Structures are given as C-alpha cells and as structure tokens.
Amino acid sequence: MARVYVGQMNHGFKTGTQSTVTRPRPAAGNGNGYRGRFAPSPTGALHLGSLLVAVASWLRARQHGGTWLVRIEDVDRTREVSGASRQILNTLAAFGMTSDEPVMYQSQRDESYQQALQTLIDAGQAFACHCSRARIAARGRHRGRCQLPARNPTPGTGEAGPESRPAWRLLAPEREIGFVDALQGPFQQHLRRDVGDFVLKRRDGLWAYQLAVVVDDAAQGITEVVRGADLLDSTPRQILLQQVLGLATPAYAHLPLLLDEHGAKLSKQSRALPVDAAAPLPALRQALRLLGIPGSHLPATATTPERLLAAALPAFCLRQIPTARSLCSATWAAVDKG
C-alpha cells in the first residue's frame, strides 16, 4: 500500500512498498511570491483564538514580503450571523490588518464550485449519495458508491421532493495521504479507513467546506495556509482534492488551538469574548506574546496597532510557537518569552 506525503522537504519516510514526497509548489501564474490568507467564518465576532490566527498569517506574509488576503467563508448560510462579515473586517482593520486584494466571499462562488464538482463527476471521482445519516452511522463510515436509488417524486407534482436530492461525495482512495506541517510535523491519514467517502455538496444544496476551500485557495494562488490545528485532520482530504483536480498544494502551518480554563476551544459557538476593536492594543500584545514575540519587541512606545506589528515583525519565527495541537491560553501566556 503506497503512502503519499506532501511536505517541504524529504524527512526520510519509509513504507512497506513505496514512499513519495511531493513538495508544495506555487500556484500557476503567481510566480514564486508568497501568498497567505485569513479565512474567518461570519458566525460571530473575532475572539482571541481567531485573532491569533489572523496575526500569525499576517506576520508570515509580511515576513516573506508577500501578499496577505482575507476570505469570508460564508459557504454555510445557515450559520451566518447578520452583519458579522462587516464586523470582522472592521475589527481586522482596527488591529492594523487589511486585505491586500479585494475580499473574497464564498457565497459568491457557486459557479466555481459547480465547475469543480462537474470535473470530479466526469472523472468518475464523485458520486451521488442518497444514504441517510442513520444508515451511514450504522456503517461507521461511507465507503464505496451508493447502491440506493433516488427516492420517489413528491406526490402530485412529478418532481423530485427535497428528500430525493442527493449529497455528492468524493470516492476515498485505498491509500494514505500525508504531509509535513511546518508546526505539527509529519501527519498522515488513510482516507478510506479513517474518513470514508466525504461530502462535496450537501443534500440541502450547500457546498461542503472541503471542496470550497480547495477551489478558493487555488483561485487566490495561496502558497501557504496558516490556520488552527482543528483543521489538521481535514488537510489530507484537501490534498486529495488538489491532486484529483490538478491544483497546486500549498504549504501548511497549523497553530495550536487556544483553550479556556475548562479545556474547551475558544470559539464563537462557546461564546468566547470578542476582542475589543475600540481598544485593540491589549489583545494585540497578548496575541503577539502567544506567538513567541519577546517583550523587547513590544515596546510601550508602539502606541498604534500598525507600529506594534512593525516592531514585532523582525522577531516573528514559527519555531518559537508551541507545537502542541491545543494549549490552555492562560498556561501558554504564562510561558516566559524573554
């Protein structure tokens, strides 16, 4: 069984029959310039955990003299909070960070996602699925093409009712896909065994995150993805989609998740307190310290977010960030950064 690793360098992986390392390559048409992004979901205001990712991705782009983009991941309209997109963008600006190019909105990208899905269907990689959640739960994972027929049309109309609309899934291969994360190190996953055939388009007609993020990263020419470690497990699925769609694979750096004192992830759903856009310096200083910036690079004379970010930039280094997948914010902040 072959294992495929995607990473920045060959770390000497060995398997029983074959070992393949594919290095990330720049997206076509963007030369060798660094292009990073911050892609929040508009489900509420920014909190410290999301600010940490925004700052890290911004510093990483500036460190490479590259481009930093913002993408609003509003593909799931059922979870969107009215006004949250504008609030997020205003908060980022208050913290000294604005997108170098026009902001992309996933809600405006249906045609691009449909084209990608059709490519997968035509290639025999995607299939319609009428399985219920209960049926899939009973099987543990969805593996293999569905044998269930479409449901009957809605009585009296001759048209398929809402329950007859299928989900669309990608056929998971019988192999491992891995990559070398800049922070978390080597990571691999056997997609058919561990994940199964995963959804590309939901039965309610909404696009799945896995397809949307791959299509959008390619469209924006992203060369490195800096994001939270809660998405580490999703990365092999995204690499598979990049491979079957013939798209470039960016590098990845997954930051530890910030946990509260109870061990729960800081999130909008858990009602984590939003950062204060009216007084951004305290939260920005905290985020920078969490990223390993020493106090000597956070001078009191830096009285605006722009000046504070500029002072911190020369000291930013991924090696200073803890490599755990999650850390208590209080414990992490207590570590002496010098």
For the chain, the average pLDDT equals 82
Q: What is the pLDDT of residues 25-59, one digit of tens each?
A: 544 334 459 999 999 999 999 999 999 999 999 99
Residue 130: burial class (beta carbons within 10 Å; 0-12, 13-18, 19+):
middle
Predicted local distance difference test score (pLDDT) of residue 324: 72
Question: In the predicted model, is pLDDT for residue 10 greater than 50?
Answer: no
For the chain, domains (ranges, CATH) are: 3-105+173-190+214-330 (3.40.50.620)
Question: In the predicted model, is pLDDT for residue 269 greater than 60?
Answer: no
Question: In the predicted model, is pLDDT for residue 237 greater than 70?
Answer: yes
Predicted local distance difference test score (pLDDT) of residue 322: 81
Arithmetic mean of pLDDT, 266-279:
74
Question: In the predicted model, is pLDDT for residue 283 greater than 90?
Answer: yes
SS3 of the chain: the string is CCEEEECCCCCCCCCCCCEEEECCCCCCCCCCCCEEEECCCCCCCCEHHHHHHHHHHHHHHHHCCCEEEEEECCCCHHHCCCCHHHHHHHHHHHCCCCCCCCCEEHHHCHHHHHHHHHHHHHCCCEEEECCCHHHHHHHCCCCCCCCCCCCCECCCCCCECHHHCCEEEECCCCCEEEEEECCCEEEEEEHHHHHCCEEEECCCCCECHHHHHHHHHHHCCCCEEEEEHHHHHHHHHHHHHHHHHCCCCCEEEEECEEECCCCCECCCCCCCCECCCCCCHHHHHHHHHHCCCCHHHCCCCCCCHHHHHHHHHHHCCHHHCCCCCEEEHHHHHHCCCC
Q: How many C-alpha atoms does 126 have within 13 Å on its Cβ side?
A: 22
What whole-number distance in Å separates Cα of residue 135 and Cα of residue 140? 9
Q: What is the pLDDT of residues 69-115, one digit of tens each?
A: 999 999 999 999 999 999 999 999 999 999 999 999 999 999 999 99
Q: Report yes or no on whether pTM surpasses 0.85.
A: no
Q: What is the pLDDT of residues 165-197, one digit of tens each?
A: 889 999 999 899 999 999 999 999 999 889 889
